[in-house]
């Protein structure tokens, strides 16, 4: 984001900011003459993009870009630098004063903001506040003699940094058996897979983490099963993640290997909560941000971004080595079918995130974000399927998927503009619930127009939540009708016989062809035998409890086979004697469960009547509990980038991502940063460091969970030499009476003689000058 205020609005200065004695000493002590004058023309506060008065977000990294006017001469001016002070509520914030990220620069006669080094840049992270002031002093060491030194101060006052929440997005690695298997883990991990989104959507922090269910097996061609995949992903978000005791994420996203889907990616609706996409190197980062844009509520556009975009943390340096700025001619991320290197964000898409209710700060905030339960949350049934829209003479129909039960969620609100009517009926025919639903939520704008008019996809996802019981009665029949024609689009009737699970067993295996997030064993195969007297097709969800049945996490959803293979390292560690596996089988409306312990406990029938089997294992032990490894947290470096160079004194942003199967969103105290030269340098998920001395530093992040397990990640950066303050005020290579005279002439002021840049010339500056005295 960029906020700009002109110099003319800040000519009247308070005593705190006055440059006393600049004009008295500058002509004598400046070390480099120029023919004209320097002045600040604007200070831009950039968090990705800005369109005039776009909201700034507290806690989000901000680049402060200072544009300098060079007047009275026809050539650029070398050796131009500045110092920045930031005041929050009238008090200088931690880390202030800030030294530039790229100074000194050669200030051009005509600055172009697309060129990173045409402006003097500073990195800050401002807190949430309605009163943030910025004070920029040009040429703070008075190295350049100008015709007017009094205009080297610029103030930008009363800026507002608003509160936005930490947004929770769970991602799922899809084991795509028709081709490709799983995507490469390094491609979809935090800092890479979410890089484009981090750059353009203004939330305070992004808790992008793997889903606790592990990889999702998908056995059918994605081009004929995209809506089924979206339904499965939404079920994971709505049902299985919260059932496991985790915060329900705002969004869920599935990653496919390569790009097997003809449309690159798809969201379940606009707005929506579930999407999937590709891992093709030239487009996967933009596809992720694009599909989440649909989830925010944004349709396709034909827009260019119209203003220069700025990638504050330079997220897109990897893997495509893209620049930090984005030209006005680049496409908005919501223009269909684009590659990562030609897209950024326009105003409408940017604002969709800022104004969406899911990004707003709320009174209740689960650790690391996540949705808040609504006041009408209850046990509901998720009616999902694929709406096959009318094309030519082909009639519309809805293919229903098995009904899922969700323990706590809000029923879908009735939409007066809806075109589909869903009604549920009791066994005796009584109407239990009725809701109108609008099927056109996947309508696209003219990026995919037919004869200039928007159109519907041939197939789109259906997801409607209805009460599981009304007046103690469960639905026995569910009908969906086209409101305009009255045609029945789909019906689901509860059959007389529920499924029967005859047996449930497990064995240890060697891990060959096992889809796993970590690739680390031990590996287990779970198998079951289920039948249905009515001949209904069956599907199963596989659930794991680590606390004796108090909470459940999904190990697999919508399984059409009779076995599943997995790695124990992908799931939370079960408490001793508390591990339980549950297989939940449904014929569409009827649901039955069978359970077994993860240890060699009781054999024989469980509560459902299924025979529990534990077969011999490769390791000679089928007791999962004895095989479980302690899970280490998922730790990733967001910034800085490898081999990045910084001048001495610049604020270096160290930014991490950390999530754990047991702890979830890691607290700030779980992140420790060290330097191979400086040693310990700070604690926190996101910190600014400006004290690193020149040299090549190996920065190491250690992320530790509550159990003491840790992971370390390292990156090498370079700090180059730069003089940011010194006792030799007049630059004659001596510290003597002339320097003391200049300091005393500005005593109590700012600028000349303020050796430690604390905003005032005083005793600490005099001590520093005398300590360097040469006579």
Tokens of 532: 């249905």
The whole-angstrom separation of Cα 332 and Cα 314 is: 18
The 10s digit of each residue's pLDDT in 149-166 is 889 999 999 999 999 999
Pick from 752, 745, 761, 727: nearest CA to 141:
752
pLDDT the model gives residue 739: 87
Q: Is the pLDDT of residue 20 over 90?
A: no
Residue 442 has a pLDDT of 56
**pLDDT band for position 719 (cuts 50, 70, 90):** very high
What does the pLDDT look like over 81-93, one tens digit per residue? Answer: 999 999 999 999 9
Q: How far is CA 474 from CA 281, 370, 400, 608, in A?
A: 48, 30, 18, 21
List the one residue out of 654, 556, 597, 560 whose CA is nearest residue 216: 556
Distances (CA, A) of 745 to 456, 751, 752: 74, 11, 9
Mean pLDDT score, 486-491: 94
- What is the predicted pLDDT for the residue at 622? 41
Can you tell me the distance from the alpha carbon of 229 to that of 401, in angstroms, rounded to the nearest whole number? 11
Q: So what's the pLDDT on residue 713? A: 96
Quick one: pLDDT band at residue 487, thresholds 50, 70, 90?
very high
* Cα–Cα dist 266/290, whole Å: 9
What pLDDT, in 10s, does the model give residues 224-251? 899 889 988 988 888 778 867 788 899 9
**Of 402 and 500, which is predicted with more confidence?**
500
Residue 18: per-residue pLDDT: 36
Please determine, for residue 108, whether its predicted confidence score (pLDDT) is greater than 60: yes
C-alpha distance across the termini of the chain, in Å: 49
Of 81-85, 391-395, 732-736, give the lowest mean pLDDT range: 391-395
- Look at residue 555 and tell me whether its pLDDT is greater than 70: yes
Structure tokens at 269: 């609706």
CA–CA distance, 563 with 503 (Å, rounded to integer): 12
Write down the residue that tokens 């099927």 correspond to: 439
Per-residue pLDDT reduced to its tens digit, 135-148? 999 998 778 888 88
d(C-alpha 523, C-alpha 525), whole Å: 7
Q: What is the pLDDT of residue 27?
A: 40
Q: Quick: pLDDT tens for 201-221.
A: 999 999 999 998 778 888 889
User: Is the pLDDT score of 348 beyond 70?
Assistant: yes
Query: Please, which residues bridge with residue 654 across strands?
Result: 687
| Residue 605: band (very low, low, confident or very high) from pLDDT cuts 50, 70, 90 | very low
196 contacts 286 by C-beta, under 8 angstroms: yes
Least confident range of 40-49, 164-173, 223-232, 592-601: 592-601
Report pLDDT for 441.
65
Which 3 state secondary structure label does DSSP give 252? Answer: strand
Rounded average pLDDT over 495-507: 88
Q: Which of 280, 526, 498, 487 is nearest to 388 (CA)?
A: 487
Cis bond upstream, residue 271 (ω within 30): yes
Is residue 77 pLDDT above 90, yes or no? yes
Token duo for residue 742: 């200049």
Place of tokens 């006792």: 727
Q: What average pLDDT is seen over the chain?
A: 84
- In the three-class reduction of DSSP (H, G, I as helix; E, B as strand; rest coil), residue 354 is classed as helix
Task: Tell me which of 27-31, 236-240, 467-471, 765-769 is least confident.
Answer: 27-31
pLDDT band at 456 (very low <50, low <70, confident <90, very high): low
Which pLDDT does position 17 carry in this prediction?
A: 37
Q: Is residue 612 over pLDDT 50?
A: no
**What proportion of the chain, given as a percentage, has pLDDT over 70?**
85
How far, in Å, CA of 260 to CA of 155, rounded?
Answer: 53
Structure tokens at 497: 């016989």
pLDDT of residue 373: 61
CA distance 725 to 729: 9
HSE at residue 186, side-chain half, CA atoms within 13 A, is 3
Q: Does position 288 have pLDDT exceeding 90, yes or no?
A: yes
What is the model's pLDDT at position 604? Answer: 30
Residue 466's closest CA among 477, 458, 450, 457? 477
Q: Check residues 187 and 447 and name the one with the higher pLDDT.
A: 187
The Cα–Cα gap between 751 and 741 comes to 14
pLDDT tops 60 at residue 356: yes
Q: Name the token pair of 462.
A: 């259906």
CA distance 722 to 636: 31
């Amino acid at each position: 984001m960029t906020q700009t205020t002109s110099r003319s609005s800040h000519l009247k200065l308070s005593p705190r900011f006055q440059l006393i004695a600049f004009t008295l000493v500058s002509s004598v002590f400046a070390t480099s003459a120029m023919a004209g004058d320097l002045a600040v023309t604007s200070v831009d506060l950039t968090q990705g993009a800005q369109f005039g008065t776009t909201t700034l977000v507290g806690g989000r990294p901000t680049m402060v870009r200072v544009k300098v006017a060079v007047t009275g001469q026809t050539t650029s001016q070398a050796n131009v630098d500045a110092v920045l002070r930031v005041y929050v509520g009238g008090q200088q914030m931690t880390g202030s004063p800030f030294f530039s990220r790229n100074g000194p620069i050669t200030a051009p006669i005509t600055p172009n903001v697309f060129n990173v080094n045409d402006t003097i840049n500073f990195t800050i992270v401002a807190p949430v506040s309605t009163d943030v002031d910025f004070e920029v002093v040009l040429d703070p060491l008075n190295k350049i003699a100008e015709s007017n030194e009094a205009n080297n101060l610029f103030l930008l006052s009363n800026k507002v940094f608003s509160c936005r929440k930490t947004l929770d997005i769970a991602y799922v690695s899809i084991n795509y058996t028709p081709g490709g298997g799983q995507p490469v883990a390094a491609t979809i991990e935090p800092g890479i897979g979410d890089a484009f989104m981090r750059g353009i959507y203004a939330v305070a922090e992004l808790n992008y983490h793997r889903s606790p269910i592990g990889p999702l097996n998908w056995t059918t061609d994605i081009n004929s099963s995209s809506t089924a995949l979206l339904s499965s992903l939404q079920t994971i978000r709505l049902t299985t993640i919260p059932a496991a005791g985790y915060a329900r994420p705002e969004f869920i996203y599935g990653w496919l290997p390569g790009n097997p889907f003809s449309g690159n990616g798809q969201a379940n609706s606009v707005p929506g909560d579930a999407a999937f996409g590709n891992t093709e190197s030239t487009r996967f980062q933009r596809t992720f941000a694009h599909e989440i844009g649909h989830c925010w509520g944004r349709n396709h556009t034909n827009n260019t971004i119209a203003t220069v975009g700025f990638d504050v943390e330079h997220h897109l340096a990897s893997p495509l080595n893209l620049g930090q700025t984005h030209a006005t001619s680049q496409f908005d991320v919501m223009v269909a079918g684009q590659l990562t290197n030609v897209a950024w964000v326009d105003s409408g898409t940017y604002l969709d995130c800022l104004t969406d209710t899911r990004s707003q700060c709320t009174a209740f905030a689960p650790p690391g974000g996540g949705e808040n339960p609504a006041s009408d949350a209850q046990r509901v049934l998720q009616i999902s399927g694929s709406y096959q829209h009318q094309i030519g003479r082909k009639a519309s129909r809805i293919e229903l998927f098995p009904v899922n039960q969700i323990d706590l969620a809000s029923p879908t609100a009735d939409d007066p503009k809806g075109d589909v009517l869903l009604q549920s009926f009791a066994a005796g025919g009584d109407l239990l619930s009725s809701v109108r639903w609008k099927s056109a939520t996947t309508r696209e704008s003219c990026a995919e127009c037919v004869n200039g008019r928007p159109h519907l996809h041939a197939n789109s996802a259906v997801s409607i939540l209805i009460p599981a019981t009304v007046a103690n009665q469960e639905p026995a029949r569910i009908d969906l009708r086209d409101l305009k024609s009255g045609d029945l689009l789909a019906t689901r009737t509860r059959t007389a016989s529920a499924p029967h699970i005859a047996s449930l067993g497990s064995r240890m295996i060697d891990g060959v062809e096992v889809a796993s997030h970590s690739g680390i064993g031990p590996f287990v195969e779970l198998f079951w035998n289920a039948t249905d007297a009515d001949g209904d097709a069956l599907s199963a969800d596989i659930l794991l409890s680590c606390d004796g049945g108090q909470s459940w996490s999904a190990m697999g959803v919508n399984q059409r086979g009779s076995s599943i293979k997995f790695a124990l390292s992908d799931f939370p560690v079960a408490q001793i004697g508390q591990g339980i596996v549950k297989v939940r089988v449904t014929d569409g409306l009827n649901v039955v469960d069978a359970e077994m312990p993860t240890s060699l406990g009781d054999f024989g029938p469980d509560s459902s009547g299924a025979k529990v089997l534990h077969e011999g294992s490769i390791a000679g032990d089928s007791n999962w509990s004895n095989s479980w490894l302690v899970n280490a947290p998922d730790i990733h470096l967001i910034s800085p980038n490898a081999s990045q160079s910084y001048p001495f004194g610049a604020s270096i942003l160290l930014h991490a991502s950390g999530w754990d199967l047991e702890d979830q969103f890691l607290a700030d105290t779980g992140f420790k940063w060290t330097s191979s030269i400086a040693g310990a340098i700070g604690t926190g998920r996101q910190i600014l460091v400006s004290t690193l001395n020149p040299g090549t530093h190996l920065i190491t992040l250690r992320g530790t969970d509550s159990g003491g397990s840790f992971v370390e990640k390292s990156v090498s950066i370079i700090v180059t030499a730069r003089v940011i303050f010194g006792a030799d005020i007049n630059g004659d290579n001596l510290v003597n009476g002339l320097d003391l005279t200049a300091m005393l002439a500005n005593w109590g002021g700012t600028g000349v003689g303020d050796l430690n840049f604390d905003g005032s010339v005083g005793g600490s500056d005099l001590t520093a000058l005398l300590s360097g005295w040469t006579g």
